[in-house]
Amino acid sequence: MTRLARPGGSPPTPRSVDVARLAGVSQKTVSRVLNDEPYVSADVRRRVLDAAEELGYRRNQAARALASGRTRSIGVVTLGSALYGPTSWLIGIERAVRKVGYTLRVATTIEGDPGGIASALASLLDQGVDGVVISEPIDEGVGIISVDVPVLVLGAPPTFAAPQVVTARVGAGRLARAATEHLLELGHATVHHLAGPQRWHSARDRLAGWREALRAHGADEPPVVEGDWSAASGYAAGRELAGDGTVTAVFAANDDMAIGLIRAQLEAGRRVPEDISVVGFDDIPVAAYVTPPLTTLRQPFDEVTRQGLALLVRVIEKPDVALPPAADQPVELVVRASTAPPPPRSIPGRGRRAVPHAHGDPDGQPAGSEALST
């Protein structure tokens, strides 16, 4: 891209009049396009946006805020965590905010701090954000929080009193049901659950989905083992379960715990999936490369945040317009080699038989993902 340069080599700062001149329109039209106002033809809008991109024009956000009463910024409250779920939500939010032409301001909370959400919100509101995204995964026992800007809730954090509250959820309960049903449909009599810490909303949802699937199939409900999301806690749970030969299927609330559990089972001499099948949750990047490759559930982080941010921006910019309902995302079960039918001895009334290979078809071709709309 060719840029004009001032004497001395520093590029000039482009102005809206430069965009108007290059696009062949008035400054008022440039303003209408950049403020996403109606009554501008598609051709004119494209010419203005192309000219702005070619010149590297950046709108004066401070002047725009004074004129419109909005800063075109969105704040997000999120747990300060390196765990895959919270990090993936934050990345998805950042991408979605950028795509809708807003800037992102982030305030983090610390697990175990009941006042953390209120403090984080106060910090964002002091910066003049037009809306707030709440991606706080832990129940800290706080009451109703009052804010004066629209709120997008990802998950199930505290109740908010706000001009508008938009909810976007991935449906962890639906995903957990799909994981449990996959194991039951393979022929396992029941499915054990390695749960996440129950202060986390997502861990509760996954526990509830597992329980609903067992009850719908008339299967026994084994005692729940609770971990802390880490592979170490999965390993400890795996050692605990390894001594019980009746355990043939486990649904773990995240992939890290599933991987730790598999390691403990293999060390105890139990084969995966021939003796015990394991399903994880999240489809972390390493899940396809562990031994055996892990059957797991994939969360549509980007799509949920994209839809949620679109609704939030609509509420911010057109508060009097009714919102359409958020669309449910399909449940995606990624079937790999960690699941198979139970061993013959665990199936009442059946003799010994060959156990099908867990990769998918009899020729060993790897199975892909299954999209299950519920």
**Closest to 162 in 3D by CA, of 151, 178, 174, 176:** 151
Q: Report whether pLDDT(297) > 90.
A: yes
**Contact of 93 with 79, CB cutoff 8 Å:** no
Span 270-282, pLDDT tens digits: 999 999 999 999 9
Give me the chain's average pLDDT, please: 83
* Tens of pLDDT, residues 173-217: 899 999 999 999 999 999 999 999 999 989 999 999 999 999 999
β pairing state of 145-146 and 131-135 = unpaired
pTM of structure: 0.74
Tokens of 238: 């795996």
Band (pLDDT 50/70/90 cuts) for residue 10 is very low
Q: State phi, psi for 133 to the nearest 5 degrees.
A: -105, 130
Report the pLDDT value the prediction gives residue 12, as an integer from 0 to 100: 61
Q: What is the arrangement of strands in the sheet containing 103-109, beginning at the earlier edge strand? A: 103-109, 73-79, 131-135, 151-154, 165-168
Q: At 156, is the pLDDT very low, low, confident or very high (cuts 50, 70, 90)?
A: low
Instruction: Give the tens place of pLDDT for each residue, 62-87.
Output: 445 445 556 789 999 988 888 998 89
What is the Cα–Cα distance from 356 to 364, expressed in whole angstroms?
A: 10
Q: Give me 347's structure tokens.
A: 């199936």
Helix axes 42-55, 27-34, angle to 10 degrees: 90
For 301-337, the pLDDT digits (tens) are 888 899 899 999 999 998 887 777 666 677 799 999 9
